[in-house]
A and B are shown apart, each in its own frame.
Chain A
Amino acid sequence: MKNSKKFFSKIAVMMIGVLFILSSSGCTASKDTDTIKIGASFALTGNVSVYGIAARNGVELAIKEYEETGGKLDKKIEFIVEDNKGSEVDAANAFNKLVDREKIDVFIGSDISGTTLTIAELAAEKKIPMITPTATALPVTEKGDNVFRACYIDSFQGGMMGKFAATELQAKTATILYNFGSDYSEGIASTFEEVFQENGGTIVGKESYTNDDKDFKSILTNVKAQNPDVLFIPDYYEMVALIARQVHEVGIQSILLGVDGWDGVIDQTNDFPEAVEGAYFANHYATDDPKPEIQNFVNNYKEVYGEVPNALAALGYDAGKIILEALEKAGTTEPEAVINALKTTNVDYVTGHIEFDEKRNPIKSISVIKLEQVNGKLQQKAYTTIEP
């Protein structure tokens, strides 16, 4: 037994040695200088693949268009995507493979916050300029000053909706109904409260529920007594559909306000559209916004992928464009130069005008969408955009 243990440890030491040699030789290998390698990793399979595929398509379209319109980069662009199945282990492997074997210059990804955090950690170590289209968790960009994101962080939209309620809707009073225990809901609720009050509004009630709740009538009976101008519900669409229905039943007349988690609420409320009719919610972009850059994007995307691009696809597209423009501005693939170029981003994109703050989170405008009933069917209508 003892002998075999020794034997194994010897082998292990040897293998570590071999790995060391291999990896160090990898570092010195010369890079192909005629092509720029853009690496990406998304969940292309698995249960969050809806997000990953949309984001991947967006990035792909941005690169394709860039090449077709004769981008100013005089090098060839190679786009390499690795599936990470939405799992953190696979994400780490995918990223290491892209860096060690493919020698990528810049990285775009991932879709959900979990895998993105893993990759951001590695990317910070290896100083690869990176942008995530859609990961909203706050710590992602705190991993290193080479990590950027194209979407706003969760709490940002709470503040924007607070401003919207107080200035555009002229609301004086608001009640917040939030999901206790959900970082997403709580974070948004607290920034909404802050900004709404800063703009002269009064919070008349702050009620919470949990993920397991189905019956909200008891809470809503209290909300009815508070009679606020707006009722802010920062949560995802399934819960929102359940709550909105009971809001209607209890007879609350307040205007409902929501955030990007509401995207999809229409499909859940087909049978009782009146519950969410007239509600407003924040989103990354509105597909029916007449701005030419948005309409071009929507049409081109539909042509290539045969469906209307969702917010994730739009963010993927923007992330791709941000990276390409930074590469162009830097004129080199040196990480430092690319990172500095990324920091100075200041352009109108599909999801709004993007500039980065000192934490590399975008300061951007937000689209407000109104739910309207047309011939008994709910529709999303671009209502306005709110500047930061």
Chain B
Amino acid sequence: MTFLQQLINGLHVGSIYALIALGYTMVYGIIKLINFAHGDIMMLGAFTAFMTLTTFQLPIGVVLLITIIFCAIAGMLIERIAYKPLRNAPRISALITAIGVSFALENLFLILFGASSKPFPYHINLPPLSIGPLQITWITIITLLLSVGIMLMLDFFIKKTKIGKAMRAVSEDEDAAQLMGINTSTTISITFAIGSALGGVGGVLYSIAYPQIQPYMGVMPGLKAFIAAVLGGIGIMPGAMLGGFLMGIIESLTKGYISTLWSDAIVFGILILVLLIKPTGILGKNIREKV
């Protein structure tokens, strides 16, 4: 029974990792950029929710909506200001810029809010759901449902809508897509908007589950989500989800059965193993780079 409980614990963290990992994977898929500022977008989402909750006392649904919009705009702005001018620069320049944006965001919030952590003012007041000896908190259920729902919606969006098709086209060949009359600039902007919105949702769910927020809160989950994306195969959306859930479950089981101190080491160890056996990640396809 404890095992089942540990699995549920793992699914909870895992679904948040998966949400954030989707943002990494989408951006990487379309412009081959590892957006290291993505973890800080999650922090931005948490603080946006914190501000709207404390100053306007809005219901959580509205707060979530505002956070989504705010993070989407922030993501688009970051892309316009920091990454777009470097579109044709070497990939390493864009990568370093991403690290710069990450530091800039962290320090901005450090100046605005200080380094000490603030209690997140929202929590679900319902008693946890008891099924036999299992205790499942409502935030676990909501997080799971919400993230799976969002992923299904996203999958539909990418596969069936015009913008989704444009995204896939740009990710396959930007120049050819442009020649076919696709506005690549707008498409990339939208990708950033969606990715950042997911990061924002992840931030809110994370803060409700672990109700303390501070400017560096995005670093560790961001890193783990990045690893989740790589583990599943970066650039592939189902891979990000699979990677996220796997990460969460492995982490939870290591903490529960081996030792907390080993959990990161084991997670990273598994990543190395997977990459040794299958460099493109679990769901990655072996595509040879065209020369």
Interface residues of A (CB under 8 A from B): 180, 207-210, 212-215, 217-219, 221-222, 225, 238, 241-242, 245, 249-251, 267-272
Contact = CB atoms under 8 A, between A and B. Distances in A.
Interface stretch (B33-41, B114-122, B145-153): B114-122
Nearest to A212: B220
A217 B260 contact: no
Nearest to A238: B117
Contacts of A207: 260
A208 B260 contact: yes
A343 B122 CA distance: 52
Contacts of A249: 128, 135, 137
B9 A221 contact: yes
Contact of A180 (B12, B117, B137, B261): B261
B211 A251 contact: no
Contacts of B137: 249
B187 interface: no
A22 B9 CA distance: 69
Contacts of A241: 119, 211-212
A222 B2 contact: yes
A214 B210 contact: yes
5 contacts: A215-B9, A219-B256, A249-B135, A267-B119, A272-B211
A149 B120 CA distance: 38
A366 B122 CA distance: 35
Contacts of A269: 119
Contacts of B120: 271
B5 interface: yes
Contact of B9 (A212, A218, A238, A270): A218
B13 interface: yes
Given A218-B253, A221-B256, A241-B119, 4 more contacts: A215-B255, A222-B256, A242-B211, A249-B137
B196 interface: no
Given A221-B6, A225-B2, A213 B260 contact: yes
B47 to A, nearest CB: 16
Given A218-B255, A225-B2, A242-B212, A208 B261 contact: yes
B252 interface: yes
Contacts of A180: 260-261
Contacts of A212: 220
Contacts of A251: 128, 130, 135
A20 B271 CA distance: 63
Interface in B1-43: 2, 5-6, 9-10, 12-13
B252 A217 contact: yes
A86 to B, nearest CB: 15
Interface string B169-201: 000000000000000000000000000000000
B123 interface: yes
Nearest to A180: B261
A248 to B, nearest CB: 9
A339 B216 CA distance: 47
B210 A215 contact: yes
B260 A210 contact: yes
A20 to B, nearest CB: 45
Contacts of B261: 180, 208, 210
Nearest to B260: A209
Given A221-B256, A251-B128, A245 B211 contact: yes
B9 A217 contact: yes
Interface in B230-262: 251-253, 255-256, 259-261
B123 A272 contact: yes
A188 B229 CA distance: 40
A219 B128 contact: no
Interface in B102-131: 116-117, 119-123, 128, 130
Given A180-B260, A249-B128, A219 B122 contact: no
A262 B16 CA distance: 29
Instruction: Give the 10 A-B CB pairs with smallest separation, nearest first.
Output: A218-B255, A218-B256, A214-B210, A217-B9, A218-B252, A251-B135, A249-B137, A209-B260, A221-B5, A268-B119
A271 B212 CA distance: 12
A213 B175 CA distance: 45
B6 A218 contact: yes
Contacts of B122: 271
